[in-house]
A and B are shown apart, each in its own frame.
Chain A
Amino acid sequence: MHKKTAFSFPDEVLEHVFSFIQSDKDRNSVSMVCKSWYEIERWCRRKVFVGNCYAVSPRMVIKRFPEIRSIELKGKPHFADFNLVPDGWGGYVFPWIVEMAGAVPWLEEIKLKRMVVTDESLELIAKSFKNFKALVLSSCEGFSTDGLAAIAASCKNLKELDLRDCDVDDLSGHLLSHFPDTYTSLVSLNISCLGSDEVSFSTLERLVCRCTNLRTLRLNRAVPLDKIANILRRAPQLVDFGTGTYAADLRPDSYSDLAGAFSSCKELRSLSGFWDVVPDYLPAIYPVCSKLTSLNLSYATIQSPELIKLVSHCPNLQRLLVLDYIEDSGLEVLASSCKNLQELRVFPSDPFGVEPNVSLTEQGLVAVSSGCPKLQSVLYFCRRMSNEALVTVAKNCPNFTRFRLCIIEPRTADYQTLEPLDVGFGAIVQYCKDLQRLSLSGLLTDRVFEYIGTYAKKLEMLSVAFAGDSDLGLHHVLSGCESLRKLEIRDCPFGDKALLANAAKLETMRSLWMSSCAVSFRACKLLGQKMPRLNVEVIDERGPPDSRPESCPVDKLYIYRTVAGSRFDMPPFVWTMEDDPSLQLS
Chain B
Amino acid sequence: MEGSVAYDNDLNLKATELRLGLPGTHEEQQAVSSSTVRNNKRPNGESDARNETAPPPKAQIVGWPPIRSYRKNNSQPKKTESEGVGIYIKVSMDGAPYLRKIDLKVYSGYPELLQAVENMFKFTIGEYSEREGYKGSDYAPTYEDKDGDWMLVGDVPWEMFITSCKRLRIMKGSEARGLGCGV
Contacts and interface: CB of A to CB of B under 8 A. Distances in A.
Contacts of A472: 18, 20
A500 B32 CA distance: 18
Interface string B90-127: 10000001111100000000000000000000000000
Interface residues of B, number: 56
Contact of B7 (A348, A522, A571): A522
Contacts of A580: 4
Contact of A87 (B8, B14, B75, B101): B101
Contacts of A516: 36-38
B44 interface: no
B67 A347 contact: yes
A471 interface: yes
B70 A165 contact: yes
A354 interface: yes
B178 to A, nearest CB: 24
A81 interface: yes
B143 to A, nearest CB: 15
Interface residues of A, number: 71
Interface stretch (A2-10, A385-393, A487-495): A487-495
Q: Which of B50, B67, B97 has the most CB of A within 10 A?
A: B67
A193 B38 CA distance: 31
B84 interface: yes
A545 B61 CA distance: 23
B97 A82 contact: no
Nearest to A354: B58
A411 B99 CA distance: 34
A410 B36 contact: no
B67 A351 contact: yes
Q: Which of A83, A301, A348 has the most CB of B within 10 A?
A: A83
A88 B74 contact: no
Nearest to A469: B23
Given A347-B67, A352-B58, A493-B36, A298 B75 contact: yes
Contact of A490 (B60, B63, B98): B63
A569 to B, nearest CB: 11
Interface in B60-93: 60-72, 74-77, 80, 83-85, 88, 90
Q: Which of B1, B14, B15, B20 has the most CB of A within 10 A?
A: B15
B29 A298 contact: no
B70 A167 contact: yes
A552 B97 CA distance: 28
A456 B37 CA distance: 28
A184 to B, nearest CB: 31
B38 A555 contact: yes
Q: Which of A84, A221, A497 has the most CB of B within 10 A?
A: A497
B40 interface: yes
Nearest to A276: B77
Contact of A351 (B15, B23, B55, B72): B72
B28 interface: yes
A489 B102 CA distance: 23
Nearest to A379: B66
Contacts of B67: 82, 347-348, 351, 381
Contacts of A439: 66
Contact of A501 (B16, B60, B98): B16
Contact of A301 (B49, B55, B76, B90): B76
Nearest to B67: A351
A221 B133 CA distance: 37
A572 B98 CA distance: 9
Interface in A134-166: 139, 165
A554 to B, nearest CB: 10
Interface in A532-582: 541, 551-553, 555, 571-572, 580, 582
Interface of A: 79, 81-84, 86-88, 139, 165, 167, 172, 193, 221, 275-276, 298-299, 301, 323, 347-354, 381, 406, 408-411, 439, 443, 463, 465-466, 469-472, 475, 490-493, 495-498, 500-501, 516-518, 520, 522, 526, 529, 541, 551-553, 555, 571-572, 580, 582-583
13 contacts: A83-B101, A84-B62, A86-B100, A298-B71, A351-B72, A406-B66, A493-B33, A496-B29, A517-B36, A518-B36, A526-B11, A529-B4, A580-B4
